[in-house]
């Protein structure tokens, strides 16, 4: 019996604070099972959104009439396409860009798909009274559902597949079936074993020469070998996101951000995060700050004897760097000569489509899912990002691999993208709740130690980069940093997305960027005004960043030693180290 007391009126005592009751444990187990069956998506979130939309649409006759009119216009557009009247704008969609889609009946099918997709977007949008969060979620979900029915996804309605099938006598479909079986087999093996790191790491990727000069339970600190006779006295610490392996910033030799900075006369250091398992389930955000950034700053100073250093943070690594820099300034620690944030946010109210997956119900379900293993697995996070760009990351590859029988050749960014890491349960829960859900950092509720921090405490000059097509950290959100800092700030908006916009080496074709300085006492400009005022420049933003660093650095000196000769910071092994190879 649950209450062994013989007294039927006896009160069941609550468990000590922090401990779960039997009932709560049962609920967590059930919720974890639900999470596994729904790929970590909370059914209640979608149910609430649908109910909000359906009820308000039912009492909105004006919107209903508008949708009838929209349907009639869509049908008219389809008839115009069938009769060859007017231009077919389906060519703007890369799925239908081939000339084969511009003839009957394929142009009609593609036009019908586009009109259907647009009608459902209209149906989910601007329904009077529906909350913006629910509206965005319903529009996203219906977009996913409608895209599954695109004529490009089926061999009998895709002219490119039909042409390949005729010309190759069906061999494309045979190869596609083989590719599908290989992928299903690989998925089954991955579910049973740990995926090994790509064999290219340390051979063709992450090959900038260097040494691991410090290691703790969370990081390896890599010091890169200088390539110039002298270096600026301020070394550079790069803080990558822990959600993926660090070498996004040290890919191939031709597009390595690290190699570029080393070539500009800087002593460069990089954090390489461990790939945590269940034993690190209790590591939290402050552990990542202390064991990651602060231990690295201490190590760099001990080796280089530099009084100040430049700190660069990418993605969530940039958010963590902003937290560390604010705490340092609050406590009178002025060791940062500058702070550079690449595609990083400090305010998460406009965090793009990722906000669709962040709600109290959703985060609770993820916490219950992590409770058993003690971490969030890499494939669960990869699945979320794939849904955000389903057309490019799910349907287009499926058509190429399984219908056209083509295997896309891997390239460095694609290899890195498949090399994800796990995240400790406590840390993942904290950053979802404290940063995304509660927005504590922007609202002054984020504590380091026993005191709150504020981004406005940062006293070092700031260089910030946003990317035009970022679906993870939209540039309007990155730009909001202007609202929180009281120092000179340089903002760059570059072409490309969250990854390719940052990995934008000199000589990369079809690249451009905008750059402008904002003085600490300058009036605020909203992002669209800034965009209109600042003219684009062709090329990579990297040289502009190097010039900015030069302006905040001292006269070059002799390069520091590669690690210490003895003691805590002696060189342990060659880069890229061992943590990046962890499975």
Angle at CA of residue 568, ends 562 and 572, nearest 5°: 55
Secondary element (H or E) of residue 142: helix 132-147
d(CA 312, CA 478): 15
d(CA 184, CA 345): 37
Contacts of 322 (CB under 8 A, 6+ apart): 313, 339, 341, 344, 346, 441, 455, 458
d(CA 331, CA 328): 5
Residue 155 tokens, joined: 């061999």
Handedness of CA 358, 467, 395, 414 (dihedral sign): negative
Residue 375 tokens, joined: 């971490």
Residue 128 tokens, joined: 């009077």
Asked if 214 contacts 221 with a C-beta cutoff of 8 angstroms, the reply is: yes
- Which residues are annotated as catalytic? 315
Q: Torsion angle, CA of 122/127/130/136, rounded to 10 degrees? A: 10
How far, rounded to the nearest angstrom, does the alpha carbon of residue 369 sit from its chain's CA centroid? 21
d(CA 85, CA 463): 51
- Closest C-alpha among 447, 442, 504, 492 to residue 465: 492
d(CA 227, CA 547): 18
d(CA 112, CA 99): 17
Query: If DSSP codes are grouped into helix, strand and coil, which group holds residue 410?
Result: coil
Instruction: Count Cβ atoms below 10 Å from residue 61 Cβ, excluding itself.
Output: 9
Phi, psi of 439 (to 5 degrees): 55, 40
Task: List residues bridging with 494 in a β-sheet.
Answer: 467, 513
CA 213 vs CA 178, 223, 260: distances in Å: 46, 7, 21
- Closest C-alpha among 233, 239, 232, 235 to residue 224: 235
Phi, psi of 256 (to 5 degrees): -85, 120
* End-to-end CA gap in the chain: 44
Handedness of CA 403, 407, 412, 418 (dihedral sign): positive
Give burial (CB, 10 Å; 0-12/13-18/19+) of 306.
buried
d(CA 99, CA 384): 33
């Amino acid at each position: 019996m649950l209450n062994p007391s013989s007294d039927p009126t006896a009160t069941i005592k609550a468990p000590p604070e922090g401990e779960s009751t039997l009932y709560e444990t049962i609920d967590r187990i059930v919720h974890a099972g639900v999470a596994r069956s729904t790929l970590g998506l909370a059914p209640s979130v979608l149910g609430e959104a649908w109910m909000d939309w359906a009820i308000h649409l039912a009492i909105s006759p004006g919107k209903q009439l508008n949708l009838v009119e929209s349907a009639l216009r869509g049908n008219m557009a389809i008839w115009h396409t069938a009769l060859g009247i007017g231009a077919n704008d389906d060519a703007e969609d890369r799925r239908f860009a081939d000339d084969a889609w511009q003839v009957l009946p394929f142009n009609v099918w593609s036009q019908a798909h586009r009109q259907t997709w647009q009608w459902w977007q209209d149906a989910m949008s601007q329904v009077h009274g529906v909350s913006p969060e629910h509206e965005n979620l319903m529009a996203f979900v219906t977009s996913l559902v409608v895209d599954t029915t695109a004529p490009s996804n089926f061999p009998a309605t895709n002219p490119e597949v039909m042409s390949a099938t005729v010309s190759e006598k069906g061999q494309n479909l045979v190869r596609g079936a083989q590719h599908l079986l290989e992928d299903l087999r690989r998925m089954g093996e991955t579910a049973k074993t740990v995926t090994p790191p790509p064999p290219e790491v340390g051979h063709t990727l992450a090959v900038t020469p260097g040494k691991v000069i410090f290691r703790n339970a969370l990081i390896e600190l890599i010091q890169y070998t200088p390539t110039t006779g002298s270096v600026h006295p301020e070394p550079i610490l790069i803080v990558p996101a822990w959600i993926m392996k660090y070498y996004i910033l040290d890919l191939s030799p031709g597009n390595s951000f690290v190699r570029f900075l080393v070539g500009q006369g800087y002593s460069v250091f990089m954090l390489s995060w461990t790939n945590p398992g269940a034993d690190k389930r209790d590591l939290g955000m402050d552990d990542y700050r202390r064991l990651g950034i602060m231990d690295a700053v201490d190590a760099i100073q001990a080796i280089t004897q530099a009084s100040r250093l430049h700190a660069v943070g990418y993605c969530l690594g940039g958010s963590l760097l902003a937290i560390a820099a604010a705490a340092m300034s609050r406590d009178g620690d002025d060791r940062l000569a500058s702070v550079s944030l690449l595609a990083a946010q400090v305010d998460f109210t406009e965090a793009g489509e990722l906000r669709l997956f962040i709600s109290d119900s959703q985060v609770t379900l993820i916490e219950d899912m992590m409770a058993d293993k003690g971490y969030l697995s890499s494939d669960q996070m990869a699945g979320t990002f794939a849904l955000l760009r389903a057309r490019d990351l799910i349907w287009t590859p499926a058509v190429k691999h399984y219908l056209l029988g083509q295997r896309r050749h891997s390239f460095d960014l694609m290899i890195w993208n498949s090399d994800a890491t796990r995240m400790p349960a406590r840390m993942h829960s904290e950053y979802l709740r404290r940063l995304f859900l509660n927005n504590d950092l922007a609202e002054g509720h984020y504590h380091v130690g026993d005191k709150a921090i504020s981004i406005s405490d940062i006293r070092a000059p700031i260089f910030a980069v946003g990317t035009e097509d970022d679906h993870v950290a939209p540039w309007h959100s990155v730009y909001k940093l202007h609202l929180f800092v009281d120092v000179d700030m340089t903002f760059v908006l570059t072409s490309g997305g969250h990854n390719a916009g940052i990995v934008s080496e000199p000589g990369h074709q079809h690249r451009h960027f905008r750059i402008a300085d904002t003085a600490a006492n300058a009036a605020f400009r909203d992002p669209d005004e800034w965009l209109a005022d600042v003219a684009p420049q062709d090329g990579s933003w990297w040289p502009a960043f190097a010039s900015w660093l030069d302006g905040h650095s001292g006269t070059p000196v002799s390069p520091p030693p590669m690690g210490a000769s003895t003691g805590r910071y002696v060189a342990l092994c060659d880069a890229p180290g061992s943590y990046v190879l962890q499975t």
